[in-house]
Structure 1
Amino acid sequence: MLTDYNDIYLLNQELGYFYSVEKVKKKIEYITQNTKDIVLVAQHDNEVIGYIHGSPYELLCSDSLINILGFVVKEKYRNIGVGNILINNLERWAKENGYNRIMLVSGIERLNAYRFYQKHGYAYRKAKRLL
């Protein structure tokens, strides 16, 4: 995945995150070497066209869960199932690794994202979903 840093950098820009390519590369190195996070990518013709980043989240008032920290699909590949594959694979990984909930934070102004999450059973109340 480290070699995918430039594609991930470009995907981040589609969401308005202008974090430098060098910093994206360093973050990928750090995340893969020092955390229990999972980053799944979708590819088409050796190009990363989407990714989802999940991180274990520990609370004193709840079982462990996964927090979606980043999720984007390249605009020209949206609405053809790429996002479904990514979120379904993250949910499957979470279940297999003992997590029974996923949460995310997404601005309600992102209407397409909001509809996508609703379609997948995520509720707007701090957007937590039981698996």
Structure 2
Amino acid sequence: MRTFLGTLLTLAILGFGGATTYLAINERELVFHPAERAVAAPPAALALRERSVAYPSGDGTTLRAWVVPGTGPDSVGYWMLICHGNYGNIGYGDRPAFYASARDLGLNLLAFDYRGFGESEGSPEEQGLYADA
């Protein structure tokens, strides 16, 4: 009985160690999913009237963004910063349709790609994403 428990404990420790090692080695691929680097939906298709801009992050990495001006008289003072999360890029999926809806409500938008996403330079990493936002 003692041998069985010792073997079971050893296997549990080895399994935990193996799983921890796997997660530590593959953390970046498991957390960040930049998908395709190219922008999936061109904003011109939704008549967003966007302006593409490039600006340096704190460490000099060039980030890309879209500035989408709102429509209507109230659009002068209201801005929305779009931080898209850990998957895709600023033109991925239904994001441009969301931008169009927000624009129609009179909101100005700044939607940017984190480093390693879309057309921004660099590779995704936790500290870099904090610096980008």
TM-score (norm 1): 0.28
TM-score (norm 2): 0.28
The structure richer in strand per residue is 1
Larger Rg over CA atoms: 2
Q: Which has the higher contact order (CA 8 A, sep 6+)?
A: 2
